[in-house]
Structures are given as structure tokens and as C-alpha cells.
């Protein structure tokens, strides 16, 4: 390990006057699985409206809704057939207006998912493009095939879909191939068409006019591809077959120069919107699973001469699993602290609808420690619904599966499916965990709902939920701290089992200690200070308000506490 990582101290001059989003927690709702108000098996907007008070009580500032638009639901709504209509199973535009109004009345911001890379093949633009209707011919990436060795027509180049096999699909009507980086039912839009640009800006304006506070922009690295359609070089990754996306090095289909320019243009667009319409800052958060250099470039240029996303997701803790040691956490914390220019705001998350639930990956005993970590660190926190109660993966069989990246091959279903992390939210111990009133649910409710559900944790003083609630309060307290001279953080324990992370404001300290090792550990605090416990993990013996005796904290495996010297 890089010796710089053993003990890292960052001190910066006090910077204040944060905008609303810079120290906010964004709560991700996967609408299909949150709350089904009409008992048809699928979550819906009225269900979300019913639970807005819950989000307020929990202490988050914004709710991000995964796509709610009209869609054949091949990819859970990430295949949009009308960008301006609500999926009928979720409700109506009236329901949506009610949701925004009600959220705003309660002080919550509403962020929509925005999917610019591709539409559904059921979108009327695609239908019109297939039939070469005037004005729509070039909305998608249409290319003639090549003549292969045996005289057959073959795809124009070697580009692959993220979900295996060629990224090109033959269309009989148009007698051409179209590109799809995801499923063949999600054709990629062609951003070399001026009309597509206009459509997308009009779409954003439509939702901004309805009061949304910003967008999470989906699959950003994939928006542009090389205009010359050059073959991609081999990655030389070992053990991957030629139909696997990882077989190629995606120099021509990811993170193209034009994609960064597009995000910068959209930032100008949304900033102008805020300036003209007034009110709080409307924001962009971008989904970009790519190198740290490119993630940062999606934020903007190093000097801020061009700005992009307000923040671009930090996916580095998605790798956290049971084997994770402080060293693994330190390296991503320090990487972000060193690499992210100080004009930008960091962000922290441990899960989403595309990855196995963090409680399953790291094990239930470590859940609180990770929630503490992502909420005490500077910047934005993002919580995927259920993480506040330590909800684990559900159980879904191949026959019950929906995820297009996995269905169709039962031998690899368990390894590939994202259905496990999408099972319904576990509200209580009633029928279907309170998700609905007993109608068959679109994915099965996890059989763990009796042991892990919100109602139970609300009643129980020591629970993941209560820990999380305290963390949300603490995050806001820390965000409002004013330092006279300096503020900064120290991270340590990186080469051992007990990670510590301390935030400092002049003499005031908030220190997280988290035992990631297999044994009980004792960790020592500065003897000149008197420390009090602010938050403790479910299994630890510490209670909020307890004074630490002898400057030492004893932690069983998985235990974590946050203490302060105030």
C-alpha cells in the first residue's frame, strides 16, 4: 500500500455558505418496489406520496426517483417510450404534480432520473426512424452491414453490448443495423443529430417547469461513440470470452470528448434555467462508471472554466464486501481527497439498484459502520432505499426474474441478475411486508422481512434505522458547523483493523471508529479530551450520550461509534 495512505490529514481553509445540495442526503426510490398503494403488485406514485412523511422523519433532504416514465418495462423503466408521460402502472401526471407539491411542502427536493443515451424500441421516434420518416431518419445510429467472408451481411464493427454479444441489431424494415449499448430493445440515440439535442433539452425543460429540482443522468459515458465507427482494441483481460463486454477496451464507445462537452452544455442550460426561473439551484448528478479521471471530468474542468455535473457518482465503495479492510476504504477516501479539485463536492454511496445490497455484501453487522462513514464524510450522501434498515438482497429464481441483463440464461442468472436488490421494501411484518395488501408482487418479497423491517426497527431503540436517523441529524449539525480558522479531516488505522475518520473544526472533533477486523479491538482517544458518544452501531455496548472512560473504546467485530469532544 502507498505509505501516504497510512495516515492522511487534509486541512483546508474554512469554506462556508454551502448550497442546499452540497451536504444533502439523496434517497433513491426504485418506484416499482417502494410502496404499492393500489394493490396491483407494483409500487406507484401514490405509494411514494404516502411515504413522504417517512422520508422527512428519516432526515433526508431529497428523493431521487428511478424512471417513472411510460415504458414497456423491459429494463425497469430505463427503456422509455414517452419522456413526457408517466407509466400508467405508476399513476398519472396529476399524481406526479401532487407528489412534487407535497414533497416541496414538506421541504423535500425531487430529482428525476433522466435517460438520454437510449429510448425504448417502442418510442415513436424509433418507429418513425425505422420507417425513415422525414426528420427522424437520423435519430438513432443506423449503419449498413458489412459483407462478411461467406457473403453474409455482418455488423459494421466489433462493438459489444454491455449485456453481451454484438451491440448491433439488424432491422428488417430499414435493412440496416442500429446500435444498442444495453438491450436490443434500448436503441442508442444519435447525438450527432441536432434534433435529438433539442428534444432532450425540451424534455428537461418540461420536467423543470413541473417543479423538479434536478436530474440523475443515466449511463452518461455511453452517450457518444466514435464517428468513424472504428473497431475497439482487445482488452486482453484474462478469462473473458469474445462476447463479453470486458473483452474489448472501450476507447471508441465510452467517455468520448463530445460527451463531456454535452454535459458541460447541459450544465449551462440548467444553470440558466435556475437563473431565469429563480428559486433554489436545480442540479445534475451523473451516473458514470468509469476511471477517476473521467468521473472528475464529468464534474467539469480542473479549474472550473467549464462546469458539468454538480456531482458525478463515486462508485468506489460499491466494491465493499466482507473482506474489506480499512486499507481498502482509505485508498478510495484518499484518492477522492487528492484527485477531486477542491472546487467540487464529493459524494458517497454504498449501493443502488444495480448492485447487490450493501448489507448482503458487507454482512449485517457492518451496516451501521458503512452508513456512518458515508454520512460523516464531507459532501453528498446517497442512500438506496432500504439501506437505512439494513435490508439485504431478496431471493428471486430464474423463472421469477425480470432483469434483461440476466434473463434468458438460467445457468448465469444468479451471477448476473440485479433482481435481488430490487425486491420490495420491507415496511413491517404484515402480508407482503406492508408493500401492498396481499396481491402478488412483481418480484417476490424477501423471506427475511420478519427479521428485518422498518416497523420493528422504529419500535426498537437500538436499530439500524435509529442509528441512521441520528446520522442524518449529525450530518446536518456538522454541515452547519462554522470554523474560525480551519476545517479538515484525518483518516487513520488504514494498515490495521480499526478505521478512524475524524472531522475537525478548530478544536471541535467528530471521530468515527469502526472495527472491520475479525476480533475485538481497543482503540485509544486523545487523553486530553473528554469524549461523548453521539451514535453507536446496533451491536455495540455504547449508548448515545455515554461518556468514554479512560479514553478507550472497545469494539467487537463490526462495531462502530461516532464520538465528539464537545
DSSP codes, 497-530: SEEEEEEEETTEEEEEEEE-SSS-EEEE--TTS-
Q: How far apart are CA 519 and CA 516, in angstroms?
A: 9
DSSP string spanning 414-430? HHH-SSGGGSPP---SS
C-alpha cell at 178: 442500429
- x-marked contacts with ligand GLC along 111-130 as a string, rule CB under 6 A: ----x---------------
For position 258 contacting Mg ion by CB under 5 A, the verdict is: no
Minimum separation from the CB atom of position 44 to ligand GLC (A): 19
218 is an interface residue for Mg ion by CB under 5 A: no
CA distances from 431 to 119, 428, 544 (A): 36, 8, 34
Q: Is 421 in the site for ligand GLC (CB under 6 A)?
A: no
Minimum CB–partner distance for residue 491 and Mg ion (Å): 44
CA distance 161 to 246: 10
Bridge partners of 356?
none
Q: Which of residues 287-326 bind ligand GLC (CB under 6 A)?
A: 287
- With CB cut-offs between 5 and 8 Å by kind, which of Mg ion, ligand GLC, none does residue 354 bind? ligand GLC
Complex with Mg ion: residue 61 or 432, whichever CB lies closer: 432
- The DSSP element (H or E) to which 29 belongs, if any, is strand 25-29
User: Grid coordinates standing for 534?
Assistant: 453521539
Assess 182 for contact with ligand GLC (CB under 6 A).
Answer: yes
Q: Given candidates 78, 159, 215, 468, which one binds ligand GLC under the rule CB under 6 A?
A: 78
Smallest gap from Cβ 428 to ligand GLC, in A, equals 28
Measure the CA–CA gap between 271 and 303, rounded to whole angstroms: 18
d(CA 504, CA 483): 9
| Smallest separation (angstroms) from Mg ion to the CB of 400 | 18
Residue 130's contacts (CB-CB under 8 Å, 6 or more residues apart) are 171, 173, 174
Residue with nearest beta carbon to ligand GLC: 78
Shortest distance, position 37 Cβ to Mg ion, whole Å:
6
| Contact flag: residue 75 with ligand GLC (CB under 6 A) | yes
User: Nearest residue by C-beta to Mg ion?
Assistant: 44
Neighbours of 151 (CB within 10 A): 6
The verdict on whether 414 is a catalytic residue reads no
Q: Which of 75, 121, 218, 255 is flagged as catalytic?
A: 218
> How many residues of this chain bind ligand GLC (CB under 6 A)?
9
Nearer to Mg ion, 36 or 75 (CB): 36
Q: How far is the CB of 153 from ligand GLC (least distance, A)?
A: 27
Q: Cβ closer to ligand GLC: 351 or 493?
A: 351
* Pairing between β-strand 560-564 and β-strand 486-492 as defined by DSSP bridges: unpaired
Q: Are 75 and 122 in contact (CB under 8 A)?
A: no
Are 463 and 457 a contacting pair, CB within 8 Å? yes
Task: Tell me the three state secondary structure of residue 46.
Answer: helix
Inter-CA distances, 512 with 6, 79, 439, Å:
16, 41, 44
Query: Among residues 36, 44, 232, 287, which one is catalytic?
Result: 287
Q: Would you count residue 36 as binding Mg ion (CB under 5 A)?
A: yes
Smallest distance, ligand GLC to C-beta of residue 213, A: 20
Asked if residue 489 binds ligand GLC (CB under 6 A), the reply is: no
Is 94 annotated in the active site?
no
Is 262 or 329 the residue whose CB approaches ligand GLC more closely?
A: 262
Among candidates 176, 169, 83, 182, which has minimal Cα distance to 138? 176
10: β partners: 489
Q: Rule CB under 5 A: is residue 42 a binding residue for Mg ion?
A: yes
Of 194-223, which residues contact ligand GLC (CB under 6 A)? 218-219
- Chain residues binding Mg ion by CB under 5 A are 36, 38, 40, 42, 44
- Chain residues binding ligand GLC by CB under 6 A are 75, 78, 115, 182, 218-219, 287, 353-354
Active site residues: 218, 287
Amino acid at each position: 500500500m502507498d505509505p501516504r495512505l497510512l495516515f492522511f490529514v487534509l486541512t483546508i481553509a474554512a469554506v462556508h455558505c454551502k448550497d442546499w445540495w452540497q451536504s444533502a442526503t439523496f434517497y433513491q426510490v426504485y418506484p416499482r418496489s417502494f410502496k404499492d398503494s393500489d394493490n396491483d403488485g407494483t409500487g406507484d406514485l401514490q405509494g411514494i406520496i404516502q411515504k413522504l412523511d417517512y422520508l422527512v422523519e428519516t432526515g433526508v433532504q431529497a428523493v431521487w426517483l428511478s424512471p417513472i416514465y411510460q415504458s414497456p418495462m423491459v429494463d425497469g423503466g430505463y427503456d422509455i417510450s414517452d419522456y413526457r408521460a408517466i407509466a400508467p402502472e405508476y399513476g398519472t401526471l396529476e399524481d406526479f404534480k401532487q407528489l412534487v407539491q407535497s414533497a416541496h411542502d414538506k421541504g423535500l427536493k425531487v430529482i428525476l432520473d433522466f435517460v438520454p443515451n437510449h429510448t425504448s424500441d417502442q418510442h415513436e421516434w424509433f418507429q418513425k426512424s425505422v420507417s425513415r420518416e422525414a426528420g427522424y431518419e437520423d435519430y438513432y445510429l443506423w449503419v449498413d452491414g458489412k459483407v462478411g467472408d461467406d457473403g453474409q451481411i455482418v455488423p459494421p464493427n466489433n462493438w459489444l453490448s454491455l449485456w453481451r454479444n454484438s451491440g448491433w441489431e439488424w432491422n428488417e424494415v430499414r435493412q440496416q443495423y442500429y446500435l444498442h449499448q444495453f438491450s436490443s430493445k434500448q436503441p442508442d440515440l444519435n447525438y450527432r443529430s441536432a434534433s435529438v439535442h433539442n428534444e432532450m433539452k425540451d424534455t428537461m425543460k418540461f420536467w423543470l417547469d413541473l417543479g423538479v429540482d434536478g436530474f440523475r443522468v443515466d449511463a452518461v459515458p455511453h452517450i457518444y461513440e466514435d464517428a468513424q465507427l472504428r473497431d475497439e482494441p482487445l482488452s486482453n483481460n484474462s478469462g473473458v470470452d469474445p462476447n463479453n463486454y470486458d473483452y474489448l477496451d472501450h476507447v471508441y464507445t465510452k467517455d468520448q470528448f463530445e460527451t463531456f462537452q454535452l454535459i458541460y452544455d447541459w450544465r449551462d442550460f440548467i444553470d440558466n434555467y435556475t437563473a431565469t426561473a429563480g428559486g433554489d439551484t436545480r442540479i445534475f448528478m451523473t451516473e458514470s462508471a468509469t476511471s477517476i479521471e473521467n468521473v472528475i471530468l464529468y464534474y467539469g474542468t480542473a479549474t472550473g472554466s467549464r462546469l458539468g455535473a454538480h456531482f458525478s457518482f463515486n462508485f468506489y465503495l460499491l466494491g465493499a464486501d466482507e473482506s474489506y479492510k480499512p486499507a481498502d476504504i482509505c485508498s478510495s477516501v484518499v484518492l477522492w481527497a487528492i484527485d477531486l479539485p477542491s472546487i467540487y463536492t464529493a459524494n458517497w454511496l454504498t449501493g443502488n439498484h444495480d448492485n447487490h445490497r450493501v448489507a448482503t455484501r458487507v454482512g449485517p453487522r457492518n451496516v451501521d459502520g458503512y452508513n456512518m462513514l458515508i454520512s460523516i464524510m464531507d459532501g453528498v450522501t446517497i442512500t438506496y432505499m432500504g439501506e437505512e434498515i439494513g435490508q439485504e438482497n431478496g431471493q428471486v429464481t430464474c423463472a421469477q426474474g425480470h432483469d434483461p441483463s440476466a434473463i434468458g440464461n438460467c445457468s448465469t442468472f444468479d451471477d448476473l441478475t440485479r433482481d435481488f436488490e430490487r425486491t420490495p421494501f420491507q415496511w413491517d411484518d404484515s402480508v407482503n411486508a406492508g408493500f401492498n395488501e396481499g396481491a402478488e408482487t412483481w418480484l417476490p418479497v424477501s423471506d427475511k422481512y420478519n427479521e428485518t423491517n422498518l416497523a420493528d426497527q422504529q419500535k426498537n431503540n437500538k436499530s439500524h434505522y435509529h442509528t441512521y436517523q441520528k446520522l442524518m441529524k449529525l450530518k446536518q449539525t456538522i454541515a452547519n458547523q462554522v470554523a474560525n480558522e480551519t476545517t479538515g479531516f484525518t483518516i487513520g488505522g488504514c494498515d490495521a483493523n480499526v478505521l478512524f475518520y475524524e472531522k475537525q473544526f478548530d478544536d471541535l472533533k467528530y471521530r468515527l471508529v469502526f472495527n472491520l477486523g475479525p476480533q475485538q479491538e481497543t482503540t485509544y482517544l486523545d487523553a486530553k479530551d473528554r469524549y461523548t458518544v453521539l451514535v453507536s452501531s446496533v451491536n455495540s455496548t455504547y449508548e448515545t450520550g455515554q461518556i468514554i472512560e479512560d479514553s478507550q473504546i472497545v469494539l467487537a467485530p463490526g462495531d462502530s461509534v461516532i464520538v465528539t469532544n464537545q
